[in-house]
């Protein structure tokens, strides 16, 4: 028996569907949209059109792989925000229609909360989950948040970016270097072969537990502009060292604030989540906090870091247990709101 939930994610440029049985993922499919690469970033109108094309095949594939019939589903969970309105509407409309057709509950999910709850997905290799309360650095293409997670649905925002998100910093730095979108994973890959001490950039001075990345972007821009005047091949010749130095700076900005939060709250259970939590430099830095500072550290499996529906399904599961269902007249929201 148990509970079967279909999770649907369509907040940005990935169309994803997952089926969860209690806390175990039976299927998790993601259709990426390569069309945005030509434009150096996500084009909202193209994203929503691609979601329209992808959503039925992705859901069909997830149900087939999970080897369950749609009539076995107990609820439909979907991302209701934050994200791009045109993209969200595709997932929301499908979820509402499917839940009405099947006569089962509809569950709205906050995308940022779902990134955090991806830490609670169970599988053979991940049986260890953070105990409450814990601190979570939620780092993605659109957000950078430091959350105090008191319970599954009780989270307090301690700090956030005052300008660019961490993922945006990776992507913009990559763009300045002429690398394709999204640049984060490429910087990570190239950084592995470079020297992180080769170049240094000024550290932002931001009060409290907030973050800032726009100064870093500007200093990379001006630094490269000047170097390219002297040597037009500067980027190509220093690609690996540049990536290693940029990555190390972004990781340093994030980890400094996480350490500050540990010191201020006394909470030594820390986690990362969201697309940038796939970054090997950040994962290594977190492991360092475990070795050097005795913190208990947690990160999602790589496939649950970047946008995926498995995280929507696990959040749906916990909401289902609480009987926290949504009305069919809810509308998606674009900007983050605490729930």
Tell me if 12 contacts ligand KG4 by CB under 6 A.
yes
Report how far apart, in Å, the C-alpha atoms of 16 and of each of 12, 173, 219, 227 are.
Answer: 10, 27, 36, 42
Based on the number of CB atoms within 10 Å of its own CB, is 140 exposed (0-12), middle (13-18) or buried (19 or more)? buried
Q: How near is the Cβ of 224 to ligand KG4 at its closest, in Å?
A: 19
Tell me if 332 contacts ligand KG4 by CB under 6 A.
no
Tell me if 7 contacts ligand KG4 by CB under 6 A.
no
Considering the complex, state which of residue 143 and residue 319 has its C-beta at the smaller distance from ligand KG4.
Answer: 143
Tell me if 279 contacts ligand KG4 by CB under 6 A.
yes
Q: How near is the Cβ of 311 to ligand KG4 at its closest, in Å?
A: 9
Q: How near is the Cβ of 161 to ligand KG4 at its closest, in Å?
A: 12
Q: How near is the Cβ of 141 to ligand KG4 at its closest, in Å?
A: 3
Tell me if 274 contacts ligand KG4 by CB under 6 A.
yes
Query: To the nearest 10°, the Cα dihedral for 281, 283, 285, 287?
Result: -150
Q: Which does 105 bind (CB under 5 to 8 A by kind): Zn ion, ligand KG4, none?
A: none
The SS3 call for residue 309 is coil
Q: What angle do CA 100, 94, 311 make, to 5 degrees?
A: 105
One residue of 91, 275, 316, 332 binding ligand KG4 per CB under 6 A: 275
186, 141 Cβ separation under 8 angstroms = no
Q: How near is the Cβ of 254 to Zn ion at its closest, in Å?
A: 16
Full DSSP string of 71-83: GG--EEEEEEESS
Give the β-pairing of 134-139 and 269-273: parallel
Considering the complex, state which of residue 42 and residue 73 has its C-beta at the smaller distance from Zn ion.
Answer: 42
Residues between 138 and 157 with contacts to ligand KG4, criterion CB under 6 A: 140-142
Based on the number of CB atoms within 10 Å of its own CB, is 269 exposed (0-12), middle (13-18) or buried (19 or more)? middle
Binding-site ranges for Zn ion (CB under 5 A): 140, 307
Residues between 155 and 214 with contacts to ligand KG4, criterion CB under 6 A: 167, 170-171, 182-185, 188
Q: Which does 182 bind (CB under 5 to 8 A by kind): Zn ion, ligand KG4, none?
A: ligand KG4
Number of chain positions touching ligand KG4 (CB under 6 A): 19
The H-or-E segment that residue 320 falls in is: helix 310-321
Task: Give contact residues for ligand KG4 (rule: CB under 6 A).
Answer: 12, 140-142, 167, 170-171, 182-185, 188, 274-276, 278-279, 306-307
């Amino acid at each position: 028996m148990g509970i079967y939930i279909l999770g649907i994610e369509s907040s940005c440029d990935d169309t994803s569907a997952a089926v969860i049985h209690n806390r175990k993922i039976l299927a998790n499919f993601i259709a990426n949209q390569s069309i945005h690469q030509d434009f150096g970033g996500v084009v909202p109108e193209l994203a929503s059109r691609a979601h329209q094309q992808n959503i039925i095949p992705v859901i069909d594939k997830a149900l087939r792989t999970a080897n369950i019939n749609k009539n076995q589903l107990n609820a439909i969970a979907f991302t209701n925000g934050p994200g791009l309105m045109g993209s969200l509407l595709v997932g929301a409309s499908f979820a509402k229609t499917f839940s009405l057709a099947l006569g089962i509950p509809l569950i709205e999910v906050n995308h940022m909360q779902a990134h955090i709850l991806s830490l609670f997905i169970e599988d053979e290799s991940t049986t260890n989950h953070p105990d409450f309360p814990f601190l979570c650095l939620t780092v993605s293409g659109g957000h950078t948040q430091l959350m105090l997670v008191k319970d599954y649905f009780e989270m307090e925002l301690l700090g956030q970016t005052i300008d660019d998100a961490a993922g945006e910093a990776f992507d913009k730095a990559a763009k300045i270097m002429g690398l394709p979108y999204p640049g984060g994973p490429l910087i990570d890959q190239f950084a592995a072969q470079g020297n992180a001490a080769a170049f240094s950039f000024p550290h932002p001075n931001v009060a409290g537990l907030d973050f800032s990345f726009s100064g870093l972007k500007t200093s990379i821009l001006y630094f490269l502009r000047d170097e390219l005047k002297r040597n037009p091949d500067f980027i190509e010749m220093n690609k690996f060292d540049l990536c290693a130095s940029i990555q190390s700076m972004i990781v340093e900005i994030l980890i400094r604030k996480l350490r500050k939060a540990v010191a201020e709250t006394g909470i030594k259970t820390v986690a990362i989540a969201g697309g940038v939590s796939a970054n090997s430099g950040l994962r290594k830095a977190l492991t360092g906090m475990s070795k050097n500072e005795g913190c208990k550290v947690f990160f999602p499996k790589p496939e649950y870091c970047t946008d995926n529906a498995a995280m929507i399904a696990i959040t749906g599961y916990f909401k289902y247990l609480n009987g926290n269902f949504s009305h069919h007249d809810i509308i998606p929201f674009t900007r983050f709101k605490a729930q």
